[in-house]
Structure 1
Amino acid sequence: MNVPRDYGTINGEQTIESLYDPEEFPQSAETSAIGMILIILYILALSLGNDVHSKRMFVAPTKWLLFQDRKMIIDNDNFTFTYNDSVLKIFEDMAIYPDSDVILAQRFDGDFFELSSIYRPSPQKSVIRENRGNWTIENGLKMSTFDVASARRKNLQQTTLKSCLVMTDPNTINHLTDFKDKSVDPVTKANYPWILHLVNRMNATISFEVTNSWGYRTENGSWNGMIGMLERREIDIAGTATFLVPERIGVVQYIQLYTHTGSRFIFRRPLLSTVSNIFTLPFQRNVWIAIAVFFVLVFCLLYLSIKWEYNRDRMLKSTAYWNLNPSKPTVSDNLLILLGAFFQQGYSYEPYRVSSRIVTLMLLLASLSLYAAYTANIVNLLQSTTDSIKTLPDLLNSPLKLGVQDVVYNRHYFKSFQDSIRKTILEHRIEPKGSKSNWMSVEEGVRRVRNELFAFHGEIGTVYQLMQDTYLEEEKCGLTEIDFLNVLYPLLVIQEQSPYSEIIKTGALKLREYGLKYREEYRLYTRKPVCASQTSFITIGFTECYFALVTMGYGILLCVIVFAFELLWHRGKI
């Protein structure tokens, strides 16, 4: 502390006695007993007290060490001492709360100093003096206790604290402790008992305000909702946890008391057929290439063997061969033989010579093995779900429709992101122009996740509770989450530079240590449903048959085109 020079010195020409008003601070025995240093403290309090209070100079981590000489010289040979607490009156209106560190060192005789801490539990309470020990040149420092301030000062003597609860449903006020309607405002219902535990541990009382918003920065730079109340110091501690976001750092102070919940996109993994062509998946790419090479080789051998067989039997005029294959084989005949064997549909050609029979037998055996492996994989793939949707870009490009739970923090955060992926999701999938927006209730979102290709963004505990109550066992399989907000679990917040911060932090650790924190979470939040039975048989729809139908459609179109050319050719010849 810088003392102005014009306050005078004891040994100089100007004296302390000349600096105070005799009417306000009369020259009495009691005054003299307080000591000269107390007079200096009083003068400093009068001159700097308002600034110290308004600038919060006693707030942690600032430390103050004040000295007071308690002896008074009566004459040249005798000393008398006073042990009253008049010095405490100086601090009666100052902001020295439980987080302050004000040490008063009082010298009683020679080199003996008594050390005391001074604080007030709250603005409504008087000054409390703590004995911290003593100091002498011979024995050094002797502490009466080594407990930190948060342990020594946790008794707030029934101080009234203020808090605020965020409720999106006004009826929540009637069900804070009865565990009814667990899907409505679960964070508030989980945090409310925690606040009561913290307050009881501090021997304080608490009153609650109610708001419908966690609090966000407005256009003029101020904060509304619960965060605004903390910033304006209207409340001491938040009653509902909030997300840790950069813009709130420095406005409020976060306490390491997490609520293990969050909001994410939740969806059932779609069938593989909805995102991929399952008819190409049974074999890897190199297997398909090997099959293609094999069939080209077989086609060439089949063409050569059949042509050689035809020419030989024509020269020999074999009646048996002509009875089996009366027409001359063509390239298209060879292709149909190949396709008929591969698709297990049969063909009209009957091999007659040994060479053609060997080629045909090799083709049939290979086709049988490939067909068995292919069909077995197709049956499995028809019932398989895809795990290819893992990120936001995957979700954006997927066939899933998107919806978001209509709560205030979702609307705020979804519109606050500036990256291209999240903006595109909002503008094209959540609020498409010319269409109905996809903000909805959690009940509607969970129902659509069950019945459609749909991803719903909501509070995971609430969503899983409804799924646990309404879904069949096989419908609980394949549930997947994707984080959109990319924030930590919600945390409790208090005033920035709160005088009770260390006491509340210690209490939060105790809640976790004693298990009281987890008790409320386990009773209010439902974990991800366990898949007790895998998906049973499914109904084949157009999605699964899409590739086959497209192939058939192109085949019909090609037939029509060829037929039209044949008609034109025939008419041209006529």
Structure 2
Amino acid sequence: MNVVCFLVAFCVVISSVNCVFPDIEFLKDFFTDRNALLTINNCWSYDKNRVFLERMALSQMTQVGFYKNDDIEALKKWSNRHYLILDFRSCDSSEKILDELNATNTFVYPLRYLCLVSMLDFPTFSLKLNALQLLPNVEVVCAIFAVESVFLHQPYKVAKINELTWENYGNWSLKSGLFEHYSKIPTPQRRANLQQAKLTVVIVLYENDTWNHLTDYRNPGIDTFTKQDFESMKCVFEHLNINYSLKGVDSYGYYNETTKKFSGLVHEIQRGGADVSGVSIYFTEDRYAAVDLIKMGNPLAIRFIVKKPSTSYIKNIFFITFNDNVWIAGLIIMIISALAVKIILSWEVKEKTVCIKKVKQNSYSLSDVTLIALEAVCQQGTTTEPQSLSGRILALILFGAFMFIYVSYSANIVVLLQSTTKINDIRELLESRIEVGGCQTHYMRNYFESIKKGPLRDLYLKKIYPDQYFPLESGMKKLQQGNFAFHVLLQAAYVYILKNFTNYEICGLQELPGYIEENRGYVAVPKHSPYKDLLKVAILKVDEYGLQRRTNLRVIMKPKCFSQSATFKSVGFYDCEQVLWIWVFGTILALVLFVGEESTLPDSFLKMKILQAFILFLAFEKICSTETDLQFLEDFFKNRNVALSIHNCWTKSKNNQLLRKMATVGQVGLYHPSDINDLKKWPSSAYLVLDLRECESSYEILAQINKANIFVYPLNYLLLVDEAAFSPLSETLSRYEILPNCELVIAVFTATCVFLHQTYKVGKINELTWERYGNWSLANGLYENYRNVPKHQRRVDLKGANLAVGLVIFENDTLNHLTDYMYPGIDTFTKQDFEPMMCVLRHMNVNYSFLVVDNYGYVDEKTGLFSGLVREVQTGRADVSAGSIFFTKERYEAVDLIKQGNPHPIRFVVKKPSTSYIKNIFLITLNSNVWVASTVILAVFALVVYVILNWEAKNKEKVKQNKYSVSDVTLIALEAVCQQGTTTEPQSFAGRILSLILFGAFMFIYVSYSANIVVLLQSTTKINDIQELVDSRIEAAGCQIHYMKNYFEGGGKGPLRHLYLSKIYPDQYYPLEVGMKKVQQGNFAFHVSLQSAYEYILHYFTNYEICGLQELPGYIEENLGYIAVPKLSPYKDLFKVVILKVDEYGLQRRTNQRILMKPKCFSHSATFKSVGFYDCEQVLWIWVFGTLFSLVVFFAEKLIHHFAHKFHARQTKRTDDILRMFNACEEQVLDKHAAGSCVISLLVVDYSIAHTQSASYLENFLSREA
């Protein structure tokens, strides 16, 4: 750069100067502490320039230079720290430099200018500046030198064809020094009003119909980026006051390697065909080199969407069920156990003692004990039973240990078969068997090919290139089917998902990073655009105000997963793929071994508008002509669809003419004052017309209306008055309470036309505010300024009116923390509502004072009066409440309520109870059909086994016993059900097939049953409604707050009433901490304000406990609060509109996000839960009752056995007595015939008992005697 720079040190000896140069002193003061680099062009003398350098050294300037004429191109490389000082006071070279700067378009570069001009030359200089391209980015300061001071101004143009706009930048004098108006306000903020400058905006459209739906949120899946961005950019243009025209192109702009040019939107911006893009584009290096890009806070996400694949599709679930340590340990246990079993069995065979005599074979090989170990692992029982005590203990431990391993393994298999696995990154997607495709859009291939290395490049080459591109619907259908990843614009995908996916499918979706790393788009402007900084600031403001977020919520409707509950998924081929391969290779190995065995054994715009309005006013005043008031009334009420009543002092014929003329307009009548209070019953659409022209009774009616305070009622007024009486009427109205809700139109009749005014007061003690409503003439008809603008939008500025604001505070310290978000759990409702209400009051320009109370307001049933906030608002001591209250019928009758978009949820918080606490898991595991079918199968099999075993016993085929009873076969069937094996082995082929089928069938039932028991023991159950809570064993209570009992007792009927009476009434109320601790412990429902509960949960609950929480509807159905205002408040409509605006701007949502911080569940992974007493309660009761039943049966058996024993003893005694009598007969009776008769008589006495003992004796006796 050809600039002679003088580095001036602080040690320069400053020569004494007898005079002071004002311009040098001004420059010294102007650049002090600016840290700027200066280049000056002047026509000063050498001595003056030397003094200039000395003085600038005192201002700590680091670099000062003089301008050379050949430096014009070098200026474009300077930064915004550089200042070019041009002295136009008798210096022609500065004017030449100025012309060169404009000719070379140097003003667009970031360089600042200071022009020194005399007061006399300023008019000519300003005309010269008007011909230059001083656009909003140019910072030119004109220092106008007067006699004793310097005036500073900044000129700029909002567009090339516009006139200069001048800013008063400040002033300087030797006495006062430098004063700057805008020293701390950046240029983009000062020049944000572009005064309807005309700019061309380019947008991208693929469908012509999008022109009709840019802002109505229809068809969000078509031209999504354009609709999403244009609504936000429209707010930017309105903020900058731009008059824009739209230009449509069909692509965002891609670089053509052949032509070396861009296409589409970037091409239009680059060549200057458009000033700014109305949509955002993605950042690329080639685009950044062609245009300037402004970052926009708008997500434009293009990612992979994939349905989480089944775990069995990604991993070998039969191996990952146990980790390596478990597999190794299980194998070691099996080997050791097999060796121990072999040793014991071999010893039993060797020692065939009396105690060990039932061995089934003479030796046991390694394959035999291996088979026994495998039978224990597979829980199928074994026919080989050790006879020694040590062997039986070993078998018991072996089968018992592997039973737990088997149950764990089968349960995990069941869970893993129904589970899905998350793809963590692109590398996992690349290595998986999941197919990949891209959406068939013109820009998709560009982004795929732009990646030159890494996993994304490998994924493109392996799974996408060359033809894996699908239309949106086809790709989303493949995604829905599963095992397919689709690279697609998320907004378009979301629209399809919301229409076609179920909740379960939505919960199973996940997103992976796509080929576009930057999610935020950029607005494109030409290089060195004069509007770049203005647009950048405005875009940031729109984002901060929440307008961008509001648009995103309407366009980007991301599907929500409402419930993680799974649905049943049938097992597919790939789920069992590893098992099938084991079967194949196992069968082949078996065949190989078989063959082996067989062979070898195997701003200014406003002034212009005001001027235009004034000119129109004069024009109307001149062209209006005199005509009847009847025509005015007809024109005024045409198309209003209102009912009107008029009071006047007209003649009867004129009134009849009025009624006939107004018959086509609406309902018309003549008002005759009887009871002024009747006006209070009129609807809000009614008009009362009072003719004050030579009609004193109308003035009396007006005074009565004010005295009866009827102006606060929703009634409209039209006053007809002459021009001469307008001033006295104004003085009269200034004494009336005409507040902002009153629609009072004054029609001032002049000689030529009628002028319409509206007046109101912002407060009772304030002066009248006048609005120019419009005018009417016979020639031009009616003109209304505010016909389509409601009064509550026009009168939103209350000009510092004093209002009293009611505030509910329970803790005095809350007054110190209303806006700093500290202690959100204390006075939560007040803090949540206060800041949005402050935005409302500031927006309305209200001067407010607080009225603090200690409760929200409840009616006393004895006195019928309200307390707290409602009482203050009802009595008029408070004009509005700063916090919202809940809606009740009593409050609605006492005050007016304005709905606020602020959630104040009070609900039941409950930790999801264990399934075993709510239901009998041992019964619900299988449904009734399975239970019935299993019982029938069991009975049929038991019967068949009974027949076969008894047949075998009859044919004596190696049977262990001679006969099998029903109890024996029942025991065999129960052994099959419990999968414990049996010692009774059928020997026939039919019996063994039957046993195989029986044990195999019940093996599957046993596995399913045990797996479901394991899952259900660790699972929780959601309480679906209040009735379920009432019917459950879960306790319930309310938070110990003064208003809680009111809402409990207000529940008139239904489940909530039953819940209150059965579980809460009379004393189930706990402080917040106590109640939340009981919730944390479980089986407890707590009715509490969610804001307070959330704060406690965030501090004390773990993630697993947070995931286990649920909310149930409470005693307050309406979650949104209401702002209270007095009945017939003049500010009600104003508050209603502004509250809606604050909510739409996102300010309410911003506060809620700071205070209402709902705890998030980051992972649904469960933690281990030990089995509790209530989990096994039903089993324990079965054991208790079973034991009792068995004891009863035992005592019955014992009693029966006792009586049977006694009977048998008695019979034995009688038999012995008869035998003795036989002997006596033989010994004592000599006569043989007498002895025979004795024996026969004894047999007859009790033949049924004694015949077995005496029959043989009798036979011997008779034969001997014969």
Q: Which amino acid aligns with 2:574?
A: T
| Mapping for residues 6-85 of structure 1, pairs under 5 Å | 37=88, 40=91, 44-45=94-95, 47-49=96-98, 51-59=100-108, 61-70=110-119, 82=120, 85=123
Mapped pair 1:393 → 2:442? no
> 2:370 aligns to what?
335
- Which residue does the alignment assign to 1:402? 436
Give the residue type in structure 1 aligned to 2:475.
Answer: G
**Residue in 2 aligned with 1:416?**
450
1:124 to 132, 141, 161: 161
Could you say if the C-alpha distance between residues 486 and 54 of structure 1 is closer, same or farther in structure 2, counting changes exceeding 3 Å? farther
Distance 1:262 1:101 in 2: 38
Note if 1:271 corresponds to 2:310: yes
Among 473, 483, 500, which residue is 1:443 paired with?
Answer: 473
Correspondence list, 1:243-322, <5 A: 243-313=282-352, 320-322=357-359
CA distance in 1, matches of 2:42, 2:122: 26
Distance 1:204 1:216 in 2: 29
Contact (CA 8 Å) 1:121, 1:156: kept in 2 or not? yes
Displacement after TM superposition at 1:84 (Å): 5.8
Q: Alignment identity in percent?
A: 27
Q: Distance in 1 between matches of 2:181 and 2:412?
A: 78
After TM superposition, the structure 1 stretch with the greater mean CA deviation from structure 2, 297-306 or 84-93, is 84-93
Aligned letter for 1:272? T
Partner of 1:113: 150
* One-letter identity of the residue aligned with 1:367: F
2:172 maps to which residue? 135
- Once the two structures are superposed, what CA deviation does each residue of 1:506-546 show, in whole Å capped at 9, x if it has no partner? 21122123322122111000124224242222101111111
- Offset at residue 293 of structure 1 (A): 1.4
What's the CA shift string for 1:464-518, capped at 9, x where partnerless? Answer: 2221221111111132111122223213232232211222122112212332212
Q: Counterpart in 1 of 2:416? A: 381
Structure-2 residue corresponding to 1:430: 464
Counterpart check, 1:160 vs 2:190: no
Secondary structure of 1:351 counterpart: coil
Note the C-alpha offset of 1:162: 0.9
Counterparts of 1:249 and 1:382, CA distance in 2 = 50
- Indicate which of 533, 552, 561 corresponds to 1:521: 552
Q: Quote the offset at 1:144 in angstroms.
A: 4.2
SS in 2 for 1:375: helix
Q: What residue is the counterpart of 1:460 in the other structure?
A: 490
- Secondary structure of 2:131's aligned partner: coil
Partner SS for 2:107? coil
**Inter-partner Cα distance in structure 2 for 1:235 and 1:83:** 38
Aligned equivalents of 1:154 and 1:102: distance in 2?
Answer: 17
Separation in structure 2 between the aligned mates of residue 556 and residue 115 of structure 1, nearest angstrom: 99
Give me the whole-angstrom Cα distance separating, in 1, the residues matched to 2:462 and 2:215: 41
Cα separation, 2, equivalents of 1:55 and 1:151: 28
CA distance in 2, matches of 1:392, 1:307: 59
Q: C-alpha offsets along residues 347-376 of structure 1, whole Å, 9 cap, x if unaligned?
A: 331222223222222211111111111111
1:73 corresponding residue in structure 2 = none
**Letter in structure 1 aligned against 2:529:** S
Partner-residue secondary structure (3-state), 1:418: coil
RMSD of aligned residue pairs (Cα, Å) = 2.6
Residue from 567, 571, 593 that aligns with 1:536: 567
- Mark the CA change 1:3 to 1:446 in structure 2 (over 3 Å): closer, same or farther: closer
Amino acid across the alignment from 1:527 = K
Distance 1:11 1:311, change over 3 A: closer
Please tell me whether the aligned partners of residues 468 and 529 of structure 1 are also in contact (alpha carbons under 8 angstroms): no
Contact 1:215 1:224 in 2 (8 A): yes
Q: Which amino acid aligns with 2:364?
A: P
Amino acid of the structure 2 residue aligned with 1:417: I
- Is the 8 Å Cα contact of residues 396 and 425 (structure 1) preserved in structure 2? yes
Query: Who is 2:1145 aligned against?
Result: none
Give the superposition deviation at 1:55: 4.0
Q: How far off is 1:568 after superposition?
A: 3.4
The whole-number CA distance in structure 2 between the counterparts of 1:226 and 1:162 is 12
State the aligned residue count: 522
Q: Is the alpha carbon distance of 1:340 and 1:503 closer, same or farther for their aligned partners in structure 2, counting shifts above 3 Å? A: same
C-alpha deviation, 1:327, in angstroms: 5.2
TM-score of the two chains, using structure 1 as the length reference: 0.85
Comparing 406-415 with 346-355, greater Cα deviation is found at: 346-355
Shift of 1:245: 3.0
* DSSP-derived class of the 1:163 partner: strand
Encode CA deviations 1:220-247: one digit per residue, 9 max, x unaligned: 4432221222222221111111123333
Deviation at 1:446, TM superposition (A): 1.6
Deviations 1:295-341 (CA, angstroms, capped at 9, x unpaired): 1110110111111111222xx5999525xx14532111111111111
Greater CA deviation, 191-200 or 133-142?
191-200
> Which whole-Å CA distance do the structure 1 matches of 2:115 and 2:42 have between them?
18
Distance 2:189 2:457 in 1: 49
- Larger mean CA deviation between 126-135 and 114-123 belongs to 126-135
Deviation at 1:52, TM superposition (A): 1.4
Once the two structures are superposed, residues 3-49 of structure 1 have per-residue CA deviations (whole angstroms, 9 ceiling, x without a partner) of 99xx996889xxxxxxxxxxxxxxxxxxxxxxx935635x544x445
TM-score when normalising by structure 2: 0.40
User: In structure 1, how many angstroms separate the alpha carbons of the residues matched to 2:550 and 2:521?
Assistant: 17
Larger radius of gyration: 2
The 8 Å contact of residues 475 and 535 in structure 1, kept in 2 or not, is answered as no
Query: By how many angstroms is 1:346 displaced?
Result: 2.6
User: What residue in structure 2 maps to residue 79 of structure 1?
Assistant: none
Indicate if the aligned counterparts of 1:462 and 1:526 stay in contact, CA closer than 8 A.
Answer: no
Tell me the secondary structure at the aligned position of residue 545 of structure 1: helix
**CA pair 228-39 structure 1, distance change in 2 beyond 3 A:** farther
What is the CA–CA distance in structure 1 between the aligned matches of 2:161 and 2:405, rounded to whole Å? Answer: 87
3-state SS of 1:265 partner: strand
1:278-309 CA deviation, whole Å, 9 max, x = no partner? 11222222122111111111011011111111
- Partners of 1:38 and 1:87 within 8 A in 2: no
CA distance in 2, matches of 1:279, 1:2: 80
Q: Once the two structures are superposed, what CA deviation does each residue of 1:379-409 show, in whole Å capped at 9, x if it has no partner?
A: 111111112x211111101111111112233
Q: Report SS of the residue matched to 1:408.
A: coil
Query: Residue in 1 aligned with 2:381?
Result: 346
Q: After the TM superposition, which residues 166-177 of structure 1 pair with which residues of structure 2 at under 5 Å, given as runs?
A: 166-177=204-215
Cα distance change on mapping 1:10 and 1:478 into 2, 3 Å: closer
Conservation of the 8 A alpha-carbon contact between 1:309 and 1:356: no
Q: CA deviation at 1:131?
A: 2.2
Correspondence list, 1:205-224, <5 A:
205-219=243-257, 220-224=259-263
Q: How far, CA to CA, are the matches of 2:537 and 2:600 in structure 1?
A: 94
Letter paired with 1:67 = L
How far, CA to CA, are the matches of 1:501 and 1:65 in structure 2? 22
Aligned to 2:710: none
Q: CA deviation at 1:54?
A: 4.9
2:233 touches 2:539 (CA, 8 Å); kept in 1? no
In the alignment, the residues of structure 2 paired with residue 50 and residue 424 of structure 1 have an alpha-carbon distance, to the nearest angstrom, of 58
Structure 1 residues 369, 411: CA separation in 2 closer, same or farther (over 3 Å shift)?
same
Cα drift, residue 50 of structure 1:
5.4
The alignment partner of 1:469 has SS state of helix
